[in-house]
Amino acid sequence: MGRKATFVRFCRLALLLLAINASAQEYKIRAKVDLVEVPVTVKGSGDKLIAGLTKNDFVVFEDGRRQTIANFTSDPVPLSAAVIIESGLTPGSLSKIQQTLSALAGAFSEFDEVAVYRYGKFVTRLLDFSKEPDQILTAINTVRELPGTTPQEHIFPGPFSIPGPVINGAAVVPPGQVGVIVTSPPKTSYVLNDAIFAAASDLGKRERNRRRIVLVISDGGSSGSEHSFDDVEQSLLEKSVQVYAVGVDQPFPYKKLSILSDYARTTGGDVFFENSLKGIEESYASITEEARNQYAIGYLSNNEVVGAGPVFREISVEVVGRNMKVLHRKGYYQYP
C-alpha cells in the first residue's frame, strides 16, 4: 500500500507540474500579443467633425493586409497635453498669442493634465503635468513677458558690400571683389525638433488611458536642433503621441510644406494656420475637442516580426463607401 500511495502521489504531482507548465506557456504566448490602438479623426466638408460612426464603418489595413477590429469606442477621454510655445515669434504674432493665452488655458477641461514648455535656442519646461487651472494659467502667462523678435535678414555691411546670391548662408563674392569680407549676423536657433522630442519623452511616462498630445504654437521654423525630424517622428510613434499645431507667420504657399504639417500627418494630429485673434482662439478649442473625441480602434496584428526587430508597420484606415478625410498615425513599431 505504501508503494502504491507513493506512486499515486507522484502521478498527481507530475500532472500538476504539467498543468502549471501549460499555463505558463499559454501565458507566455498571450503576453506577446499586443493590441494596436489607433485614434482616428473623421472630417467631412468644411473640416466638420463627423460623429456617430460605428465599428462597421471602418476598415483597417496594416502593411496592406486587412485587420480585424477587436476594440472600438467613441467615448471621450481625458488628455495629457504638452503645450509648446515658440519664443522667437515676430512681435505682431507674439502679441496675438499673448492676447489669446486665457483662451488657451480655458481650452482644457478639469479632467485634463497639462505641461507647458517654451523654446528658442533652448527648451525650457515651465510646468510639469498639472490639473490645477491656476498653475496652468500662470505657466502659460509667462509668455506675456517675451518681447518678440525681428525676422533674421542677411545684411552685408561696408562700402563694398553688394547684396547678391547666398550659398549655404554665405554671400557669393562677385568677380573683382576678392579679399572683401562679407558677413551676416549670427542666426538664432529655434530648436523645434528638440522641444517636441522633450515633450514626447515626458508624455511617454503618462498613463495610457489618457490621449497624449503635443500642442505647439510656432511659425514652423526649425534650426539648431540636436534631434532630426526622423528621430522625433520615431519617438512620437513609439509613445503614441499626436501633434497638433497652431501655425502663425506662414505664407499660404508654404503651409502644406511646413514641418508642422509633417508632424501632424505623421502622428494623426492636425494643424491650424491662423493669423487673426479669433482664428487663433478658436483653434485651441478645436484642437482639444478633436483630440478628446476621436474614434479609438484596436486590432491584433496578423503580421509577425521575423528576426530581432523592431519592424515599422504602416497603417491605413478608411471609412467604407464615404469620401471623408481620415486622420490617424501613419504606423507603429512592432517588436518581437
What CATH number should be reported for the domain holding residue 250? 3.40.50.410
Distance (Å, whole) CA 127 – CA 136: 7
How many domains does the chain contain in total?
A: 2
In this structure, are 270 and 310 located in the same domain? no
Other beta carbons less than 10 A from residue 98's beta carbon: 16
In this structure, are 192 and 253 located in the same domain? yes
In this structure, are 196 and 334 located in the same domain? no
Q: What is the mean pLDDT of each run of 10 residues along the chain (336 residues)?
A: 54 52 45 80 94 97 97 96 95 94 96 97 96 96 80 37 42 47 56 98 95 96 94 97 93 76 97 94 97 97 88 96 94 92
- Entry pTM: 0.80
Query: Could you report how far apart the first and last alpha carbons of the chain are, in Å?
Result: 52
Distance (Å, whole) CA 79 – CA 316: 24
DSSP category for residue 161:
-
Is the alpha carbon torsion for 194, 200, 201, 202 positive or negative?
positive
pLDDT of 21 reads: 54
Q: Residue 176 domain-assigned?
A: no
pLDDT of 306 reads: 85
In this structure, are 67 and 216 located in the same domain? no
Q: Residue 199 domain-assigned?
A: yes
Domain coverage including residue 224? 79-149+187-291
In this structure, are 124 and 263 located in the same domain? yes
In this structure, are 283 and 306 located in the same domain? no
Q: Residue 313 domain-assigned?
A: yes
Contact 131, 113 (CB under 8 A): yes
In this structure, are 235 and 265 located in the same domain? yes
In this structure, are 272 and 250 located in the same domain? yes
